Amino acid sequence: DYLVVFLSLLFSSTIKSTSQLETINNNSIIFFALISLVAIFIYFFTKQYKGLTRYLKSKNMYQIIGRNGLVTLLILIIELFLNFRILTFSEIIVFFVILNFNTLILRLILSDLIFIFNKKSKFSKINIAVYGAESLGVEIFETLRYSQKYNLVFFVDEDQNLINRSINNILIISLKKFI
C-alpha cells in the first residue's frame, strides 16, 4: 500500500506534462514519502488490514474509498493550513482517482489469485445443484463459492423467465430437465 500511495502521488504530480518531471524536487519526494507513511497509519488505525482479502465485497471497497478520502483530505489540510504547496487542487483530485483505482484493482487481483490458489480441483469435489435461482439460491451459492468440498454445477428453477440464463456463469435449468 505504501508503494501504491507513493506512486499515485508521483504520477498525479506529473500527469499534466512530462516537462513537470524537472519540477519534482527533494521536498516533493520527502512529502510523498511522508504522506505514504501517514496513509499506512490511517489504513492501520481504520482497520483496513483486519479483513480477509479473499472475501472482498463492495462494502469493503467503499470503506477503502473512504480511507483514501481521508488521505486526500489530509493532503488538502496540510497544503491549505501549512501553506505547503506541492500539488495543485486538480492534481489532488487526480491523485484520489488514481489511488482508488490502483488500490481497488490490486485488492481485486489479490482476491482472485487467493481464490484460484485455494481452490481444489473440481474433480475432487461433490457436484451439486441448488433449487431456486433467486435471492436464497444466490445466498447458498455465495456460501458454497469458497467451499473446498462442493462444486455448484447448476441452479434448478421452475420460473420460465430464468431458465437458460445464468448466475456467475452457472446455468439455470428447468426442474423437468433436472429430473
The whole-number pLDDT of residue 99 equals 93
Grid cell digits, residue 147? 467451499
pTM: 0.62
What is the separation of C-alpha 37 from the centre of its chain, rounded to a whole number of angstroms?
A: 21
Q: How confident is the model at residue 17 (pLDDT cuts 50, 70, 90)?
A: low
pLDDT single digits (tens) 44-71: 888 877 766 556 677 888 888 999 999 9
Contact 170, 157 (CB under 8 A): no
What does the mean pLDDT of the chain come to?
Answer: 82
Helix-, strand-, coil-residue percentages of the chain, each rounded to 5: 65, 10, 25
